[in-house]
Amino acid sequence: MDSESKLINLTIDGTEVSVPEGTTILKAAERLGIVIPRYCWHPGLSAPAQCRMCLVEVEGWPKPQPACVQQVQDGMVVNTDCVEARKARRGVIEFLLLNHPLDCPICDAAGQCMLQDYAHETGQLRRRAVEAKVVLGRDHVTPEIVYFADRCILCTRCVRFMDEIAQEPVLQVINRGHKGYIDTMTDELFEHPFSMNIVDVCPVGALVNEDFLFKARSWDLDQTASICPGCSQGCNVALGTKENRVVRLKPRFNPEVNSYWMCDHGRREVVRWGAGMRAEVPLVREAERLVPADWARALDATVEALRGVEGGAKAIVDPGASNESLYIVRRLMDQVGFDGGSFRVSSGPQQVLKGFPKLALREDRAANASGAEALGYGRVDDIYGAVRSHRGVLFVLEEGLDDAPEDFADGSALFVYIGSVLSPAARKADIVLPSPSFAEMDGTFTNFEGRVQRFTQGLRPPGLARPIWMSGSVVLARLGGGEPFTSAAAAFAALAEEFTAFSGLSYEKIGLTGAVSAAAESGATAS
């Protein structure tokens, strides 16, 4: 905003406020903490002023004004909660509910529905209309999104998202009035890599994600601030969890990374992840068999095995592992002689969101490839070739090893597998340390542009699974002295001391929206 721009003084609900010229009444009211009811207005979209829900009284003006587009004027006196404004809102609500099925008990949006909220706040208790309601039915608009036409209030947020942000205007309002509904040109479904944002922008339960349909009530969900692990963009998200499962992902606003949006790929990945067998308990090889052990025994065995081992240490890591985990594995390797660590990244076509080009589904379909690189791991195509003739210690962190060759790790003196799922190759390990998924622990990812972002724990890890920054730091302490880390923050602090890509950063500085280290920033401007 131009600091030179003129300030306008006005009064909203009896409180004076100064805002820059050109501000709308709705925005000015937000400065005072007054939320003017709205449907069609969304902060990420244009304002068509068509739902008429934000009508407010401006003293001395003949008609109520739509707050979402009416700009402030000097000396304006605005009332958002007076009789006239409430009457206007009540009228809008009555019309919206005229043909609404009132099926809240089976509606996915119940509990997070703006129609429910405002009807409760300003609507009337009883229906005056005696006519039968118009029934329009429901249909898919994409293979994963169902449209309930009867619940739709025709705010056109989804139409404008596809037009302005996706820039593929496939959705339109068809017919008019009580017969109006949202549809594409043909009866065919449309597909777009960012289509599920239309579910997020929908203020009611008209557009719902089939993945989530009838799975949970919104008020039963716990919300956890996290980072989407689907690609190297690192979209800020909120995990919606229930009964120790992630049931949905919603984008969390971050103007630097993903604004209000995120792609469909990330949502699918996380919700569908974790259905298979999990490693729940440490395993130690005894007489050719992997035997379950408690952590004390597993750590004893690890310390014992690492003492006096020769041949250096190599590692295969997964670029979806957190910086803290990658760091501890790096430190463990240093103890026995770092001999190189490698990772591979699965890739897919890049898909840019045209209306917010900072955001794209990136080619690298892993959250932390940049972090792994910053911590000294190398990106390779053939992770198995890098360790083929290795005779020393082999660490594998989170990499699934699904396509490992028959003779994988046969020559290594010690094979430690740290991960959450056990493939046949992982079962060849001498020691297995079960670790949680990203949703089950605290940590950080470094996104494609070097931005370090925190994710927080939303789920209980299964069984005895513990993050490697915790268990590994105990091993480190016993091998080389010092204290084990008691939190991910402490592990990160040690990491930031050691690696310049993280220098000056701490959990406090990163907060919940991420930060770029001074070193990384100057490096970026220099290159």
Residues in touch with other proteins (CB under 8 A): 169-176, 183-186
On whether the CB atoms of residues 239 and 224 are closer than 8 A, the answer is: yes
Closest to other proteins by CB, 12 vs 154, is: 154
DSSP state of 311: S
Closest to other proteins by CB, 169 vs 348, is: 169
H or E stretch including 201?
helix 197-201
Q: Collapse the DSSP code of 416 into the 3-class scheme (helix H, G, I; strand E, B; otherwise coil) and give the result.
A: strand
DSSP state of 364: B
| Sequence-ordered alpha helix ranges (H) in 274-336 | 295-306, 323-336
Closest to other proteins by CB, 169 vs 511, is: 169
Alpha carbons 74 and 18: distance in angstroms, whole number = 9
Q: Collapse the DSSP code of 299 into the 3-class scheme (helix H, G, I; strand E, B; otherwise coil) and give the result.
A: helix
The CB-of-209 to other proteins minimum distance in angstroms stands at 22
The CB-of-213 to other proteins minimum distance in angstroms stands at 25
The CB-of-162 to other proteins minimum distance in angstroms stands at 9
The CB-of-148 to other proteins minimum distance in angstroms stands at 19
The CB-of-181 to other proteins minimum distance in angstroms stands at 10
Q: Collapse the DSSP code of 134 into the 3-class scheme (helix H, G, I; strand E, B; otherwise coil) and give the result.
A: coil
The CB-of-166 to other proteins minimum distance in angstroms stands at 12
Closest to other proteins by CB, 179 vs 460, is: 179
Phi, psi of 397 (to 5 degrees): -115, 110
The CB-of-68 to other proteins minimum distance in angstroms stands at 22
Closest to other proteins by CB, 188 vs 497, is: 188
On whether the CB atoms of residues 84 and 57 are closer than 8 A, the answer is: yes
Other beta carbons less than 10 A from residue 352's beta carbon: 14
Q: Collapse the DSSP code of 303 into the 3-class scheme (helix H, G, I; strand E, B; otherwise coil) and give the result.
A: helix
Orientation of helix 83-97 relative to helix 114-122, angle to 10°: 130
The CB-of-136 to other proteins minimum distance in angstroms stands at 13
Q: Find, among 199, 78, 16, the residue nearest to 7 by Cα.
A: 16
Burial class (CB in 10 A: 0-12, 13-18, 19+), 143: exposed
Closest to other proteins by CB, 71 vs 184, is: 184
Identity at 349, one-letter amino acid code = P
| Sequence-ordered alpha helix ranges (H) in 417-467 | none
Burial class (CB in 10 A: 0-12, 13-18, 19+), 337: middle
H or E stretch including 290?
strand 289-292
* Positive or negative torsion for Cα 448, 453, 459, 461: positive
Closest to other proteins by CB, 183 vs 430, is: 183
Closest to other proteins by CB, 183 vs 211, is: 183
The CB-of-133 to other proteins minimum distance in angstroms stands at 20
Distance spanning both ends of the chain, measured CA to CA: 29
Closest to other proteins by CB, 143 vs 169, is: 169
Closest to other proteins by CB, 71 vs 172, is: 172
The CB-of-26 to other proteins minimum distance in angstroms stands at 27
H or E stretch including 104?
none
